[in-house]
């Protein structure tokens, strides 16, 4: 008789990343271990988990060739050590340009092998008063969508769609990924835009795609003076916030239930009613 269930435990790591890569990897290691001890079979790190530099140029200096480097080695080793699926969102990967990187989500399986990569497509720009950001100065945009599937022992197979931070404002990206069981959104939303839009956008993506959304965020005041919004959370397909951490380092743990996804898509078959595709 099969012992498989319809549920699997997942976790989002919230950080307040520093200037130093080594310090961030040590912080991430502790939080990953905490998530694994809580039973998470998939753990997601936030955008820029490995570096929040004094300037945007610092991540260019910290870039790694695709497939090698201390950040990638750390992610591989941590996934294998804990026997989990680990989503490193994001790592600066060489873009073959002297002044820009790819802002890449790297996914590792429980053996520490890389399963897939997603390069952030939409690049954030915002200017209001003294607050100004323009990721295009140091990041080369990605061009391709990415999904993967994972299955823990005794748990259902879960199809996952990848995105990063500012992608959240572009619902057409998620429609192109659909149908998926889980959307991941590693992020570093600013405090300004986060207060206004973060939870609203996350809940909308869950509701319109009838799937879970797991968002791992940066959350606090960084050494470089930047303030990020935090509020890492897991949201169910009805738009309900299952679990959340407002500020500071920590781990958000929750359960994905494929039976709930199936029931909600039966009750409200909106995905099958799509006319414009």
List residues with catalytic annotation: 47, 120, 165
From the number of C-beta atoms within 10 Å of its C-beta (0-12, 13-18, 19+), residue 81 rates as middle
Q: Which of 56, 60, 73 lies closest to 112 in space, CA to CA?
A: 73
Burial class (CB in 10 A: 0-12, 13-18, 19+), 53: buried
Question: 189 in helix, strand or coil?
Answer: coil
| HSE toward the beta carbon, residue 58, CA cutoff 13 A | 12
Residue 248's SS3 state is coil
Q: To 10 degrees, what angle do helices 70-82 and 21-37 make?
A: 10
Q: Go through the chain and tell me how many residues it has.
A: 277
Residue given tokens 């991430």 in the structure block: 28
- For residue 128, the Cα-to-chain-centroid distance in whole angstroms is 26
Find, among 118, 212, 112, the residue nearest to 165 by Cα.
Answer: 118
**Continuous segment of H or E residues that includes residue 91:** strand 85-97
The three-state secondary structure class of 60 is helix
């Amino acid at each position: 008789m099969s012992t498989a269930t319809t549920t699997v435990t997942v976790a989002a790591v919230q950080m307040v990343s520093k200037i130093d890569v080594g310090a961030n990897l040590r912080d991430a290691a502790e939080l990953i271990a905490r998530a694994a001890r809580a039973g998470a079979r998939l753990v997601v790190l936030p955008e820029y988990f490995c570096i929040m530099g004094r300037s945007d140029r610092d991540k260019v200096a910290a870039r790694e060739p695709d497939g090698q480097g201390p950040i990638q080695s750390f992610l591989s080793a941590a996934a294998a050590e804990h026997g989990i699926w680990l989503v490193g969102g994001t790592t600066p990967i060489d873009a073959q340009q002297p002044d820009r990187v790819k802002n890449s989500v790297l996914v590792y399986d429980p053996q520490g092998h890389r399963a897939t990569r997603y390069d952030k497509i939409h690049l954030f720009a915002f200017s209001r008063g003294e607050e100004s950001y323009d990721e295009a100065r140091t990041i080369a945009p990605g061009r391709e969508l990415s999904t993967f599937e994972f299955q823990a022992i005794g748990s259902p197979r879960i199809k996952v769609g990848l995105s990063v931070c500012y992608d959240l404002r572009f619902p057409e990206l998620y429609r192109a990924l659909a149908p998926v069981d889980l959307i991941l959104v590693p992020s570093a939303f600013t405090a300004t835009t986060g207060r206004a839009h973060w939870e609203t956008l996350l809940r909308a993506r869950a509701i319109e795609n009838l799937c879970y959304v797991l968002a791992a965020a940066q959350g606090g005041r960084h050494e470089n003076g930047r303030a990020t919004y935090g509020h890492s959370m897991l949201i169910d397909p009805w738009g309900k916030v299952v679990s959340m951490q407002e500020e500071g380092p920590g781990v958000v743990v929750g359960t994905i239930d494929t039976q709930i996804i199936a029931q909600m898509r039966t009750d409200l078959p909106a995905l099958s009613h799509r006319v414009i595709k």
